[in-house]
Amino acid sequence: MTHIREKAWTWGYVIPKSVEGPGDVPYVGVATQTGKSWCSLETAASYLGTPNVIFKNSMHDKNTLTDEYIEPIASSDKIICSLPFTALAETAKRVSALSLKHTNITGAIIDDFLEFHSAQKTIPPDTTRAVYEALRSENQSLRLYVVRYTWQDHTELLPHLPYFDVINLWVWVANLYDWQVKMNEFEIDKLKRLTGKPVVLGLFVHDYGRTDGPVPMDILELQFKTAVRLTDSGVIEGFFVLQSGWFDKEDHRLQAQWIKQYFDWLFNTRR
C-alpha cells in the first residue's frame, strides 16, 4: 500500500540560490500580484514533509527549465512542471526532454484549463492534442494534468479527453458549502464517470477567490480532512497544497502551522 505521504504535493516557486534575501514570487503581493517571499518551493515542501512538488516557475517563464531552478527540487520524489499559456506545446516539449535527465519529472500541468484568466479565451482540442503529443514526444510515461474548478461545466472537457490524463479540481472561493456538497464521493465519482479521468484535489492556503486573505481556519481544516478522507477511500489520487510563497507571511502563519502539525500527525502515525 502506498503511504499517504506519497500522495501529497506542495505547489510553488523556486527562488534561485543566487538571490539574496526574499525573491520575487507571483501572486503573493497586494491584490495577489507578484510579491516577495523568503520561502522557496523546496523549503515549503521540507517544512510540510511532502515529497512531491508542482514547479510553477515555468508557467511564467519557460527559460526557468534549467539546472539552476531544478537543482533545489532535484531530490523530490516527483516533479510536475507548469506550462505557460503563451507557449504550451513548446514548453511541454522542453519538459519531455528534461525528464530524460531528471527522471523524477513525471508530468506537466495546464493551470486554469479552458478558463485562462489572463487571456479570457479557451483553447481548442487541437491545441490540447499538440501539447499532449509534445509532452510525450520523448517520454511516453509523462502525464498531463489540467486545472478545473467546481463552478465550471465539466462537459467542456469532453472534446479534450484523449489529450490529458488527470483532473486537478479546486474550489475557487473558500466556502463550507462547496467542500461539504461538491467535494464529496458522489460528486467526484460523477466527474470521474463523465471523463474517465482520475482526480487530484487542490487545497488553497490563500483565499484568492473571495477575501484576498488567508483561507479561514474552519474551511482550511475541512479542506485537508476531506482530501485525506477521499484519498484514503481511493476516490482521488492525492492533493496539491498551494502555494509556497505564502508560508513566510505572518498573516498566514496559523494556516501554515496547522497544515504542518496536521501532516506531522498524519504522516508519522501510519505504517
What confidence tens digit (pLDDT) does each residue in 103-131 have?
999 999 999 998 754 444 678 999 999 99
Closest CA to 17 of 68, 81, 70: 68
Looking at residue 47, its pLDDT comes to: 98
- Written as one letter, the residue type at 240 is F
User: What CA–CA distance (Å, rounded) separates 56 from 46?
Assistant: 17
Task: Report the C-alpha gap between 14 and 44 in whole angstroms.
Answer: 10
**Mean pLDDT over residues 11-32, rounded?**
93
Sign of the torsion formed by the C-alpha atoms of 267, 227, 148 and 168: positive
3-state secondary structure of 22: coil
d(CA 257, CA 27): 21
pLDDT, tens digit, for every residue of 133-160? 999 999 999 999 999 999 999 999 999 9
Q: For residue 118, what pLDDT is reported? A: 47
Q: What are residue 8's phi and psi, to 5 degrees?
A: -110, 135
Report the alpha-carbon distance of residue 89 to residue 132 in Å, rounded: 8
CA pair distance 124, 130, nearest whole angstrom: 10
Q: What's the average model confidence in pLDDT over 65-74?
A: 96
| Summary mean pLDDT of the chain | 95
Q: What is the pLDDT of residue 116?
A: 55
Q: What is the set of domains in the chain, with CATH numbers?
A: 4-23+47-268 (3.20.20.80)
pLDDT, residue 119, reads 47
Q: What's the pLDDT at 114?
A: 83
pLDDT tens column, 253-270:
999 999 999 999 999 999
Amino acid occupying residue 182: K
Residues 188-201 pLDDT 10s: 999 999 999 999 99
DSSP letter for each residue of 111-150: TTTT--TTT-----HHHHHHHHHHHTSS-TT-EEEEEEET
